[in-house]
Structure 1
């Protein structure tokens, strides 16, 4: 199963418009079913996300990413957004996507999307723990060229 992570293109627009503050805002990770179709070009706010999962051990809106940091490494020209791994303990659920978004603004129509993870296939737990272990490089990276 190939797991991929991608930015929503308009995340950069939201960041430059001061709608996202990675290390001080509440950044959340929510799960969606395979019926959700991420659109990097048009999805900008949480109101565009459909088919959030339901299940035991899952709360609507997802979990908060802890320890969010943003760093820049001059030698490689890489900006890294990082945070703690996220998990849903004691859960019974099925998900295909994880969506990272800024939950600080007041409504879903103003909560910017940042990135998403495509698990490559449905992942499930039955009274278990679903954990997303972020890549050692971070939740998401950008190479500035």
Structure 2
């Protein structure tokens, strides 16, 4: 399946304003239903996200990302965010979006959004593992120009 991943535009404002530290803060991925419509231009904080999923094996707020890396490729002028794949081991739920955010700040109104992945269709699991397997090229990439 070809999924679409993008950085939230206001993530860069949050980074430039020192509201997020990709090296030391706790980043999480939360899952949302198809009723959430990511807005790349206006959504900036976790409080802007609606319709987080509920279901067996899923904890509100999502799962922590591990092995987070941010890399710059000078030959392509791209910055890439990546992390280890995430697995919810015994899941019964349906998701359409994965939202990456910084969970370190104290409230949802100050937790910066970073990126989102929109799946081609709703993906369901019934008493089975649900995996967010990031693209081999990374979760999200942007070109610096």
User: TM-score normalised to the size of structure 1?
Assistant: 0.96
Is the contact made by 2:95 and 2:123 (CA closer than 8 Å) also made in structure 1?
yes
Residues 85 and 24 of structure 1: CA distance in aligned 2, closer, same or farther (over 3 Å):
same
- TM-score of the pair, normalised by structure 2: 0.96
CA distance in 2, matches of 1:19, 1:3: 28
Structure 2 alignment gaps of length 5 or more: none
Paired position in structure 2 for 1:106? 106
Deviations 1:18-72 (A, max 9, x none): 1111121000000001111111111100001011000000000000000111111
CA apart distance, 1:133: 1.1
The SS at the match of 1:104 is coil
Q: CA RMSD in A?
A: 1.0
d(CA) in 2 for partners of 1:32 and 1:127?
18
Partner residue, 1:11: 11
Structure 1 residue aligned with 2:74: 74
- Tell me the CA shift for residue 79 of structure 1: 1.2
1:14-53 alignment runs, 5 A limit: 14-53=14-53
Q: Which digits, 9 at most, give the CA deviation of each residue in 1:70-92, with x for residues without a partner?
A: 11121221211111011111000
Alignment gaps of 5+ in structure 1: none
- Secondary structure, counterpart of 2:79 in structure 1: strand
Q: How far apart are the structure 2 equivalents of 1:72 and 1:144?
A: 9
DSSP 3-state at the match of 1:14: helix
1:2 is displaced (CA, Å) by: 3.8
- Partners of 2:80 and 2:124 in 1: how far apart? 29
Kindly report which structure 2 residues correspond to 1:53-92, keeping only aligned pairs within 5 A, or say none: 53-92=53-92
